Amino acid sequence: MSDFHTLRLHAGLSVAEAAELTGYDERTAYRWESGEAKPRKSVLEVLQARTPAPPVELSEPPAFRFIDLFAGIGGLRRGFETIGGRCVFTSEWDRFSQITYKANFPHDPHPIAGDIRNVDAADIPEFDVLLAGFPCQPFSLAGVSKKNSLNRAHGFADETQGTLFFDVARIIAHHRPAAFLLENVKNLTSHDRGRTFEIIKEVLQERLGYHISYRTVDGRAWTPQHRERIFIVGFREPTAFSMLDLPIPAERPTLASVLHGFAEIETPETPYSEGPAGKAAAKYTLSQHLWTYLQNYAEKHRQKGNGFGFGLVGPNDVARTLSARYHKDGSEILIDQGKGKVPRRLTPRECARLMGFDQPGKPPVRIPVSDTQAYRQFGNAVVVPVVEAIAKHMEPHLMEALANDRETERAVA
């Protein structure tokens, strides 16, 4: 009996479903099934991640309960677990993100719900804090440009993504949590000449009655990457909380803290790094053809006075924003490998570090998906240390709100 066969059965998948999930054709999957051929390690890891883990009995009650909407690979969740929160509901529609999420939170007693539009708010268990990185494509500069070129609607006129904010609103309206944290791209405030953000504020403040505070935060203070995102915090009851008071670290890390062969947390890891020094694997070096194309493309736009081009950086530098399109050519963050040498992409492990998922003293995040999917997932993620800082900033106000709720419940009882 092959390992593929065993893991496929444990995951509850047919051969065809397993083939689709791992990105191979059905004929290849049947060869794995029969033992005629052996699949790559990454294939087995994908199936392993789909295998349900036994629930863990949690004896101690959490400080608070939260739900993780548009969860991606759990970046917001990681921040709020550091202050004693427990996730009681997760929603994420992308099947590959679900794989990574399950691999890193294998003992959740609750399944991952798919499309939040199909979830009745009454079916979500009671919670104290709502976390939601609602889809940013309808509001981002890149997303708006793409939709305009396709003559498609964007913002709240986009029925498939823009209106997902209203699913967040209906869940808040039903459960009335003590607090929430919403995350989006910085362009949210200027989209449609500010009208989109005015609607969001009107819904949260006037219709739902929450007291909100928001701020655009650059992850640069925590990791070596310029990544500006807006964070909106809301409390149901009046509070002195303000995002403007969020402490920002004075230290500014460089790429040496995340690059293979430089980082203190380096451990050689196939297939991302190789050799005793743990340097990046050779496969991440660009082809000469792609490198020539990127140089010519940059020069063409330079002559036109445009700023388009690749971003070439070294260990003492800071990266541009990692995007979900990084898998295509890696052009926004190329690592200089020395004079006369072709640069390379970041590896998925380096992306995990750049986004703060991997930190000294903590287990590295599991990456059970292909490089292409990993780049997309980290490019869509939040900078975890930023969320940790916001959670810690919210903590005393949240604990006070929850204590008041409990006191009110006792008085009513």
pLDDT in tens, the chain (413 residues): 688 887 777 777 788 878 877 778 888 888 888 888 888 877 877 777 666 555 555 567 889 999 999 999 999 999 999 999 999 999 999 999 999 999 999 889 999 998 888 999 999 999 999 999 987 655 554 554 555 554 555 544 444 445 788 889 999 999 999 999 999 988 888 877 788 888 889 889 999 999 999 999 999 999 999 999 999 999 999 999 999 999 999 989 999 999 998 876 667 788 898 887 788 999 999 999 999 998 888 888 777 767 667 889 999 999 999 999 999 888 899 999 998 899 999 999 999 999 999 988 888 999 988 899 999 999 999 999 999 999 999 999 999 999 988 887 777 76
* Res 144: pLDDT: 45
Catalytic residue, from 103, 136, 230, 355: name it. Answer: 136
Q: Strand 273-274 vs strand 85-91: parallel, antiparallel, or unpaired?
A: unpaired
Neighbours of 1 (CB within 10 A): 8
Q: Which tokens hold the place of 296?
A: 């010519």
Distance CA 308, CA 287 (A): 20
Distance CA 117, CA 395 (A): 30
Distance CA 126, CA 121 (A): 10
Distance CA 97, CA 94 (A): 5
* Res 205: pLDDT: 93
Q: Which tokens hold the place of 381?
A: 């993620």
Quick one: 142 exposed, middle or buried, by C-beta within 10 A (0-12, 13-18, 19+)? middle
* Res 85: pLDDT: 96
Q: Which domains, from first to last, does the chain contain?
A: 3-50 (1.10.260), 64-251+382-412 (3.40.50.150), 255-368 (3.90.120)
CA atoms within 13 A on the CB side of 23: 12
CA atoms within 13 A on the CB side of 94: 17
Q: What is the 3-state secondary structure (H, E, C) of 46-60?
A: HHHHHCCCCCCCCCC
Phi, then psi, of 138 in degrees rounded to 5:
-65, -15
Taking 3-state DSSP, the helix, strand and coil percentages for the chain, each rounded to the nearest 5, stand at 45, 15, 45
Distance CA 23, CA 8 (A): 14
Query: pTM of the prediction?
Result: 0.83
- List, in order, residues 6 or more apart from 311 with CB less than 8 Å away: 319, 320, 331, 332, 333, 334
Quick one: 342 exposed, middle or buried, by C-beta within 10 A (0-12, 13-18, 19+)? middle
Q: Strand 211-218 vs strand 273-274: parallel, antiparallel, or unpaired?
A: unpaired
- The helix or strand, by DSSP H or E, that contains position 98, with its residue range, turns out to be helix 95-104
276, 268 in Cβ contact below 8 A?
A: yes
392, 82 in Cβ contact below 8 A?
A: yes
136 is catalytic: yes
Distance CA 84, CA 394 (A): 12
Q: Which tokens hold the place of 215?
A: 């701020």
CA 304 to chain centroid: 35
- Ordered DSSP codes for 361-403: TSPPPP--S-HHHHHHHHHTS--HHHHHHHHHHHHHHHHHHHH
SS3 19: helix
Phi, then psi, of 244 in degrees rounded to 5:
-65, -20
